[in-house]
């Protein structure tokens, strides 16, 4: 909360309004105030009426006067200072009832602000509720039920179908389809098997898993996300700093104006009248609505994003995201899945597709190259006998013995394509990497391997264009591959064969024309992410580097979260501007009305506090969540088995 506002808050996270200390105090003050006015109207003596109003004043003032005094000791002046001075002045003028009304209304505003902020902060803490109450651990051949906090690195967890994973780990036995929708927003379960990573809060599908714990409950992915976002929320966006810049000089400025009004007015007229007007002006110019308008919106918007698998690192990132008008996309791992696959096999010399892949797979059987994984994924590895005497020729390919015959696999140029020259040329122009396969001195085929576009890529680019964003693709791949994939995705601006520093340079050029976001994997795109107005990491679940280097992290692998997140930030920024405009308008209108005596103290306090409630309610709207197309949204339960809707955690809008 802003210093200018002078708003205090406890560390508790209330679930209901009546659990907020400020609102309870306001309720007591309200009851006493009503009792005081009722006694006055019923003709009771002045002493009981004064006592009831004084008690109401004390109850309401207890929510902000102590905080104000502590701030004054540290030399910090805030809106609470104005309210305290106004209340004291009203008492000195004999208007104990109006002072009590001021304290009552201000305490309501303080309480509503605290409740709204606590409610949106709970959006982050709700991530931790995805962890089950108990985890089953295998120890000494027995199954032992433990609390997640008792898990240690190296423990073997047993995760049954339908249960949530208690902490991060690596699968050691079993296969399943993991539902990670509540964490990353993925709408489709992710296949997982031995050596595959699992994250806290994931829901196991149909298989029984043995998972080796790799992180404690205090250090797993969910806990780390909560810590990162809560820490980064202290970063203030430009709008927050604007509110503070307006509020901080406004407070002493208004106090000076009030002194001048009281002093000059007293020389020209009735001192009591002008002192009262000075106090009313003091209250009318209170900038608390301005000071709280941005923080409430920021916390609500970031909380909504975090619940949908999007990490937004504070107000600065949120506002920058709302200003973005150009998006630079890395190709590998962003527009594509970074999972090359065989898309075509051309044959020659009477060979069949299976024969070509058989020779290629035998040569690649022990290779860790991405192309090797793609080729091996296209065959039944149980039928493949690894080639003998395999030698790697740097920058060219592989050579070895397959079933007693010399075989080679490599790029065109090292191997002559012969009759497959036209096929190789076509493959390359289609954006694929072509490798030739030679058996016993004869080229028998060409294999096209390509990192395919994500299925949703074209839809996302269409949405970005419809939203008025300039879209560019940045990649280190060759021009032919980049152009083919960009054409398929619907991207016109393509920058290929770029080194990391080249990407940073291109992003810098884009920034000169419009606010630019760079979307990459957060590791090899680090220079471009740092250069952009905003860095967005794609698929950052469990990747520390991506989370730390980017301003925003899309934890899932569904690229549709990108336009949803941009829309969400735009909407949040509109709400911020609405709140700032309303806050300034209230101050502008109330001050002259108070100065000329049109509005009294009670009326000004009422209008001002109603305005605070309005900006709080408006700011909380930024926490609304809309699912991705085809999904439903449901908050997760703590039980091991979620309701059907729970597996479709939505994306933000």
Q: Dihedrals φ, ψ of 587, to 5°?
A: -65, -45
d(CA 333, CA 520): 7
Which residues does 266 contact at the CB level (< 8 Å), separation at least 6?
274, 275
Region for 491 from its dihedrals, namely left if φ exceeds 0, alpha if ψ lies in -120 to 50, beta otherwise: beta
Handedness of CA 464, 469, 470, 476 (dihedral sign): negative
Return the number of other C-beta atoms located less than 10 Å from residue 84's C-beta: 22
CA 397 to chain centre: 43
Q: Is 179 exposed, middle or buried (0-12, 13-18, 19+ CB in 10 A)?
A: buried
CB 470 within 8 A of CB 493: yes
d(CA 362, CA 372): 10
Handedness of CA 316, 320, 321, 327 (dihedral sign): negative
CA 312 to chain centre: 3
d(CA 352, CA 358): 10
Residues designated as active site: 330
- DSSP string for 27-69: HHHHHHHHHHHHHHHTT--HHHHHHHHHHHHHHHHTTTHHHHH
d(CA 561, CA 367): 35
| DSSP structural state of residue 221 | H
d(CA 439, CA 443): 6
d(CA 164, CA 67): 43
d(CA 171, CA 156): 9
Tokens of 24: 């309870």
């Amino acid at each position: 909360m802003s210093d200018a506002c002078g708003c205090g808050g406890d560390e508790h996270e209330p679930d209901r309004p009546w659990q907020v200390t400020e609102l309870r105090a306001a309720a007591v003050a309200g009851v006493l105030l009503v009792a005081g006015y009722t006694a006055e109207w019923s003709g009771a003596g002045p002493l009981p009426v004064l006592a009831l109003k004084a008690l109401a004043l004390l109850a309401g003032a207890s929510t902000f006067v102590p905080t104000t005094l502590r701030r004054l000791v540290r030399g910090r002046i805030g809106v609470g200072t104005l309210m305290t001075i106004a209340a004291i002045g009203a008492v000195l003028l004999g208007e104990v009832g109006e002072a009590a009304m001021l304290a009552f209304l201000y305490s309501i505003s303080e309480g509503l602000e605290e409740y709204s902020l606590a409610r949106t902060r709970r959006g982050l803490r709700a991530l931790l509720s995805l962890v089950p109450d108990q985890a089953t651990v295998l120890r000494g051949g027995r199954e032992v039920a433990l609390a997640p906090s008792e898990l240690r690195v190296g423990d073997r967890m047993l995760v049954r179908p339908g249960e949530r994973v208690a902490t991060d780990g690596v699968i050691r036995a079993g296969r399943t389809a993991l539902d990670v929708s509540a964490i990353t927003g993925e709408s489709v379960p992710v296949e997982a098997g031995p050596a595959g990573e699992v994250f806290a809060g994931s829901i196991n599908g149909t298989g029984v898993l043995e998972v080796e714990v790799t992180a404690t409950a205090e250090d797993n992915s969910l806990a780390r996300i909560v810590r990162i976002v809560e820490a980064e929320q202290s970063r203030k966006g430009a709008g927050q700093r604007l509110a503070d810049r307006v509020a901080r000089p406004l407070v002493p400025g208004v106090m000076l104006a009030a002194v001048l009004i009281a002093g000059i007015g007293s020389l020209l007229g009735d001192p009591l009248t002008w002192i009262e007007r000075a106090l009313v002006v003091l209250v009318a110019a209170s900038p608390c609505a301005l000071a709280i308008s941005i923080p409430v919106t920021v916390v609500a918007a970031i909380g909504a994003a975090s619940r949908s698998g999007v990490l937004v690192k504070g107000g600065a990132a949120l506002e920058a995201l709302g200003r973005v008008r150009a998006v630079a996309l890395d190709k590998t791992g962003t527009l594509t899945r970074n999972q090359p696959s065989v898309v075509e096999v051309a044959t020659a010399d009477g060979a069949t597709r299976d024969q070509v892949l058989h020779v290629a797979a035998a040569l690649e059987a022990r290779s860790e190259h991405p192309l090797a994984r793609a080729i091996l994924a296209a065959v039944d590895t149980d039928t493949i006998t690894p080639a003998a005497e395999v030698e790697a020729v740097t920058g060219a390919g592989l050579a070895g013995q397959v079933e007693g015959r010399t075989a080679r696999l490599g790029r065109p140029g090292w191997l002559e394509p012969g009759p497959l020259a036209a096929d190789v040329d076509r493959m390359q122009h289609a954006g694929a990497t072509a490798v030739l396969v030679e058996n016993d001195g004869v080229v028998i085929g060409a294999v096209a391997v390509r990192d395919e576009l994500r299925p949703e890529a074209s839809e996302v680019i269409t949405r970005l264009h419809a939203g008025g964003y300039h879209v560019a693709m940045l990649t280190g791949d060759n021009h032919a591959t980049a152009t083919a994939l960009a054409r398929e995705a619907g991207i016109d601006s393509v920058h290929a064969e770029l080194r990391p520093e080249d990407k940073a340079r291109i992003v810098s050029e884009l920034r000169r024309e419009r606010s630019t976001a760079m979307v990459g994997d957060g590791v090899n795109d680090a220079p471009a992410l740092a250069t952009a107005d905003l860095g967005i990491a794609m698929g950052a679940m469990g990747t520390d580097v991506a989370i730390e280097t980017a301003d925003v992290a899309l934890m899932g692998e569904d690229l549709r979260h990108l336009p949803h997140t941009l829309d969400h930030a735009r909407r949040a920024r509109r709400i911020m501007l609405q709140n700032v405009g309303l806050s300034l308008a209230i101050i502008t209108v109330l001050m002259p009305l108070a100065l000329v005596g049109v509005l009294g103290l009670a009326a000004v306090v009422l209008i001002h506090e109603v305005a605070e409630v309005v900006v709080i309610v408006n700011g909380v709207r930024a926490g609304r969540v809309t699912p991705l197309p085809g999904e439903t949204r449901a908050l997760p339960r703590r039980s091991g088995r979620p309701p059907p809707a729970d597996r479709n955690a939505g994306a933000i809008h």
